[in-house]
Structure 1
Amino acid sequence: MRTRLRQLRIDARTFVWHAEIRHAQGSGDCHRCIRLRVWGAGKTSQALQADLLSVAWPAPWGACATDGSYPTSADVRAVTSYALGHGWQPERRGGTFVLTEPEHAAGFALPDFLLTDRLRTPECADPTLRVVRAYEHRHGR
């Protein structure tokens, strides 16, 4: 199956990106998670990677089957702009710049997503409580 790359322009620069739907296991719950990868100077350039945990549902149980969250181009623009201001060098050759949860989650947020390390490090903190808190905060509960 061929990967579909989408384009995004920020100022005079063109970026390409790809988002892949995955799932992150929580404490008995499954959460929808999107692995976002962005390139700014071709596929051999330093990639940007962010794993985005969906906060679309009030309770995560069963959300894997029903959560339709997917990043919009505005979400990808926000992630890309943030990464550019925090050390990502897309013109650099090779490697991956990862927006990690401990380093970036407190300073960056999207309305429908949280940064997570759960896909890369399954033994990191359970995402369930963060998802519930974000949903409640978003809906004023």
Structure 2
Amino acid sequence: MKGRLRKLRTPGREFAWTADIRHIPGSTDCHRGFRLRVWGGGKNGCLLQADLLSTSGPSPWGFCTTDVAHPLPRDVRALVTRALAAGWDPAAKGGTFVLTEREHAAGWELPGFLVTDRLRNPKAADPTRRVLHSLA
């Protein structure tokens, strides 16, 4: 199934984005996650990629089973703003700017989500602990 390309308009720029649903394994459960990709410089511009972890609380059936979270345009706008501040240049030709948990998420929050490296690196921080910590 092909993902839907959505549009996000900001003053002076238009972005296209998509969010693919992923399942992120944790120590005791799986979690709902997303691979978010954003284009701001056309199809040949530098791609922004961020992997998000839903912070929806557990249900009696587990995290993944009942989680219906999905990034909204306001979430994408916040990620774009964060990435631009971190040095992403959408107009640069080619390449991918990856917004990572380790390098870009410290001291920054996105309500309802955490930036995670777990999709790219199975040894990254345990999502179950991170979600429970965010709910505390």
Q: TM-score, normalised by structure 1?
A: 0.90
- What CA deviation, in whole Å up to 9, does each residue of 1:62-106 have, x standing for no partner? 221210010110000000011111110100111110111111111
Q: What are structure 1's unaligned runs of at least 5 residues?
A: 137-141
Q: What's 1:91 paired with?
A: 91
CA distance, structure 1, for counterparts of residue 3 and residue 132 of structure 2: 32
Q: Which runs of 5+ in 2 are unaligned?
A: none
Q: Are residue 28 (structure 1) and residue 28 (structure 2) matched?
A: yes
Please identify, of 6-15 and 61-70, the stretch whose mean Cα deviation from structure 2 is larger. 61-70
**Pair 110,92 (structure 1): closer, same or farther in 2 beyond 3 Å:** same
**C-alpha deviations, 1:46-68, integer Å up to 9, x for none?**
10011110001146972212100
**What TM-score do you get using the length of structure 2 for normalisation?**
0.93
User: What do the CA deviations read for 1:6-28 (whole angstroms, capped 9, x no partner)?
Assistant: 00011110000000100110113
Corresponding residue number in structure 1 for 2:127:
127
- Contact 1:56/1:67 (<8 A) preserved: yes
Q: Distance in 1 between matches of 2:110 and 2:60?
A: 18
Q: Which residue of 1 aligns with 2:16?
A: 16
- Quote the residue 2:110 is aligned against: 110
Query: Contact 2:50–2:115 (CA<8 Å) still a contact in 1?
Result: yes
2:26 pairs with 1:52: no
C-alpha contact 1:30 1:61 (8 A) present in aligned 2: no
One-letter amino acid of the counterpart of residue 123, structure 1: K
Provide the secondary structure at the position in 1 that maps to 2:134. Answer: helix
Matched AA of 1:29? D
In structure 2, relative to structure 1, the CA distance for the partners of 1:55 and 1:61 (3 Å cut) is farther
Q: Tell me the CA shift for residue 42 of structure 1.
A: 1.4
Runs of 4+ in 1 over 3 A off after TM superposition: 58-61
Deviation at 1:124? 1.4
